[in-house]
Amino acid sequence: MPRFAANLTFLFNEVPFLERFGEAAHAGFRAVEFAFAYEYRIAEVVAQQREHRLDVVLINAPPGDYAAGDRGLASVPGREHEFAASIANALQYANAFGCTRIHVMAGVVPEGADPAERERRTRTYVRNLRFACTEAAAQGVTILIEPINPRDVPGYLLNTQAQAHALRAEIGAPNLKVQMDLYHAQIVEGDLTEKLRRYIAHIGHVQIAGVPGRNEPDTGEINYGYLFKVLDELRYDGWVGCEYRPAKSTTGGLTWLYRLLDRRPAPQKSG
């Protein structure tokens, strides 16, 4: 059975962010992930992490001005210095948390952009990712890129697994991997089992949610029980991030996870 991490950006929103660490631990999680915690002092977040003995397994680099529509800076020409500063900031937080994965969001392409502008942004993306991988390597951190469906984030530069893996191969950095969110992948292209089999060696993190509503993963059209078995067969040893919106309360919706954990084989007794 894969190891599951609570995404504190999506789960336990019944309480303020810093209190979500305790809620996650109480619910049985031993690891957490979250998008952005840069409005909090590092010491505040680390104190919660340590108090509740949680691993932080994934954070996002700062995305730019989220309220103004930024969804990452990596592909935005003219903002390279801002991007470099965002990587330095993310690495500082990751170091404090002992976190070894940073998701770097690509950014959006303006509506109506011609092919030349899209290509210009892709080249900017490649250059910035090379820089980020070089900076992260010294700290033992893996940089992740994630295809995101255009329904949730219109205009996002990176939409398919093939796009992401082609860029990963072009850049060629050993610490660049793809974050495969099965929710986004199902919406854009499906064929999840074959894509897992094809790309597993280069998948650095997996995330889950039900489709189409992005609620608990035991609802909707994806058979996660089957896919978890596939991950086991493929010997995936990373984390599975629970990045979904609870239909009602977070804790009340966790029955899907408790049912899975109850099905784990009992350890064999020696002798």
| Active site residue ranges | 146, 243
260 with 228: CB under 8 angstroms? yes
Task: Concatenate the DSSP letters of all residues of the chain into one string.
Answer: --EEEEETTTS-TTS-GGGHHHHHHHTT-SEEEES--TTS-HHHHHHHHHHTT-EEEEEEPP-S-GGGT---STT-TT-HHHHHHHHHHHHHHHHHHT--EEE----BPPTT--HHHHHHHHHHHHHHHHHHHHHHHTTT-EEEE----TTTSTTBS---HHHHHHHHHHH--TTEEEEEEHHHHHHHT--HHHHHHHHGGGEEEEEE--BTT---TTSBS--HHHHHHHHHHTT--SEEEE----SS-TTGGGHHHHHHHHTSPPPPPP-
Q: Which two tokens stand for residue 7?
A: 């995404």
- Smallest CA-to-CA distance from 182 within 236, 153, 223 is with 223
Q: CA 21 to CA 69: how far, in whole Å?
A: 28
